[in-house]
Amino acid sequence: MFRVPSVLAVAGTALALATATGTATATATATATATATATDGVGDRTACVTRTSLGVVSGTADAGLCVFRGIPYAAPPVGERRFRPPQPVSPWKGTLRAVDDARVCPQDRDVLTEDYPDDRKVYTDEDCLHLNVWTPRPDRAKRPVIVFVHGGAARYGTGNEPRYDGRRLAARGDAVVVSLNYRLGVLGWTELGGLDPSYRGSGNNGLRDQMTALRWVRRHVADFGGDPANVTVVGESAGAASISAMLATDHPERLFRRAVLQSGSGALVHTPAFERELAAAFPIRDIAALRTMPVADVLKVQEKAVAALPGAAGGALYFGPYVDGTLVRESVVKRVAAGNARGVDLLVGSDRDEVNFFGQFTPNGLSGLARQYDAFFPKELAARRERMTAVYRKGRTRREAALAMFTDQSVRIPALRLAEAQSRWRPTYVYQFDWAPPKGIGAVHTIELPFVFGTLRFRGVPGGDEALRTDRARLTTLSNQMVDAWTSFARTGDPAARRTISRPAWPPYRTPRRATMIWDLPPKVSDDPRGNERALWNGLAFDGTTL
């Protein structure tokens, strides 16, 4: 089991990585696309226009791309629809001007790690189930489609963050890029079925939101120049955990053809027992009162609930997808190993020093974080801990060894288990991001995001901005290499098929070789990196988060 530490308190973005998806669908099938340009009323800029079965949509022209921001993919989850599965969005009359880049699902601002589109301190608009599209042109070119699901502990963040701007991916990769919002915190991830059976499954509504957005993409992305039969979903942290959960739903290949999991896996999907513990800890027992409560008050109740549980359970891991037996059928690794996702190509990886990220929020920094690992280490491996620690201590200080074990247990090893399970069925690729700012605290959680998107915005990455100022040319090259790899994977299923910049070939991950791309200056391929440490975790089942 992936066990929650009893004392790891980290509020903010989340190594727990939970996010959400959707279940309801948009309406009708896509119709023929009409491509045109029209003035948008702001100076002499022009907006791109396309026609969908829901109505006409206009966006803006930006550096050779058409950008559509704030397109609704589901009905507003307000009033009687609060805590219910997402419902179909209604067609609109006239032209929808998709220029809204400020949609953020309800949350208190995370000032340390998220890259918000504005300076609001609290976000309270529940009408947030919107998505953004970047495309070279809304024609019928059938470009590969990349859909991004953001992280943030299923409690923070938005698809509208500037660091997730899809322009570089769309332009360099000739792809259609989509980012989306989904319900967060209590509103998207609290199981209320124990209070009222009609709300059974509400703990996965955030996941249903995401799945609804993916169905919207399959129906309408052709109107934006994308290929609905070639969709790659990309998730980071909580987003990756959510996509992992989708791999354990029925027929995930109907949602996407390929998946990229960055710093998250099925080990962070809640077990049924853990979800029951969280539901029992929720302080309000009256659903009617909760359904009509002002959003600001809901957020206050949410923070009290989070604070009531110890450590990571009260912060990073409180919210997220869970195995409900209906939508998410079983533990992700078991389901994938049995071939449930045999129609999905997979790319998965982690950052070398993932957990160091949380040292920014921990008393006494990295030293305090390393001490907390005692409560995190799995009881099942207690008899071999001394031997494991001795292996990790080679070339490391005691603190460095504890943090390396912490990262391996929480992110790297579960990702490798998932890759190994899927490699039996479909081409699977593994990476590790190793580059670290010279004056930072390592290759921490989220560090790969500025490179994957080509935005080079180092929010929450100590030393990142200074490194960019002093080494911009080499970091830009590394980013271009990763953009090429991600878009090549989206186009062909092979991240090395498109190598416009010199970098090594990237073989699929198969045992016993276990070829792994190491993203660094320069990148390299390593066979079974730190394999002796990987093998120490054999026998531990990473099949869900539990207390």
> Higher confidence at residue 459 or residue 37?
459
| % of the chain surpassing 90 pLDDT | 82
Question: Which residues does residue 264 pair with via DSSP β-bridges, in sequence order?
Answer: none
- In this predicted structure, the answer to whether residue 21 has a pLDDT above a threshold of 60 is no
544 vs 331: CA distance, rounded Å:
6
Q: What is the pLDDT of residue 2?
A: 52
Window from 314-318, 492-496, 502-506 with minimum mean pLDDT: 314-318
335 vs 340: CA distance, rounded Å:
6
Q: What is the pLDDT of residue 226?
A: 98
The kind and range of the H/E element at 531 are helix 531-535
Q: What is the pLDDT of residue 500?
A: 67
With bands split at pLDDT 50, 70 and 90, how would you rate the model's confidence at 3?
Answer: low
User: What angle do the packed helices 385-392 and 398-407 form, to 10 degrees?
Assistant: 110
211 vs 74: CA distance, rounded Å:
11
Yes or no: say if 53 and 29 are a contact pair by the CB < 8 Å rule: yes
Please report which residue ranges of 157-270 form alpha helices under DSSP H. 167-173, 185-189, 205-220, 238-246
- In this predicted structure, the answer to whether residue 345 has a pLDDT above a threshold of 70 is yes
130 catalytic, yes or no? Answer: no
Query: Looking up tokens 């801990």, which residue turns up?
Result: 385
Yes or no: say if 140 and 51 are a contact pair by the CB < 8 Å rule: no
Active-site option among 237, 242, 350, 479: 237
277 catalytic, yes or no? Answer: no
254 vs 80: CA distance, rounded Å:
29
User: What's the fold here for domain 2-546?
Assistant: Rossmann fold (3.40.50)
432 vs 512: CA distance, rounded Å:
18
Most confident region among 201-215, 305-319, 356-370 by mean pLDDT: 201-215
445 catalytic, yes or no? Answer: yes
- In this predicted structure, the answer to whether residue 457 has a pLDDT above a threshold of 60 is yes
pTM over 0.85: yes
The kind and range of the H/E element at 470 are helix 464-470
Nearest C-alpha neighbor of 71 from the set 86, 81, 56, 87: 56
Q: What's the sign of the alpha-carbon dihedral 406, 410, 411, 413?
A: positive
For residue 5, give both structure tokens: 């530490």
Average confidence (pLDDT) over 183-199: 96
Average confidence (pLDDT) over 330-336: 96
Q: What is the pLDDT of residue 30?
A: 33
Q: What is the pLDDT of residue 289?
A: 93
Please report which residue ranges of 351-412 form alpha helices under DSSP H. 365-376, 385-392, 398-407
Query: Looking up tokens 């982690």, which residue turns up?
Result: 350
Q: What is the pLDDT of residue 47?
A: 60
Express each pLDDT in 106-124 by its tens digit.
999 998 899 999 999 999 9
Yes or no: say if 406 and 353 are a contact pair by the CB < 8 Å rule: no
Q: What is the pLDDT of residue 503?
A: 75
What percent of the residues of the chain are helix, what percent strand, and what percent coil, each to the nearest 5?
35, 20, 45
- Secondary structure of 427-464 in HEC code, one letter for each residue: CEEEEEECCCCCCCCCCCCCCCHHHHHCCCCCCCCCCH
10 vs 26: CA distance, rounded Å:
36
Average confidence (pLDDT) over 393-417: 97
Active-site option among 445, 448, 479, 533: 445
Active-site option among 354, 420, 448, 533: 354
Residue 218 vs residues 23, 93, 242, 261, 290: alpha-carbon distances, Å: 14, 22, 18, 20, 34
Neighbours of 386 (CB within 10 A): 8
Express each pLDDT in 65-92 by its tens digit.
999 999 999 999 999 999 999 999 999 9
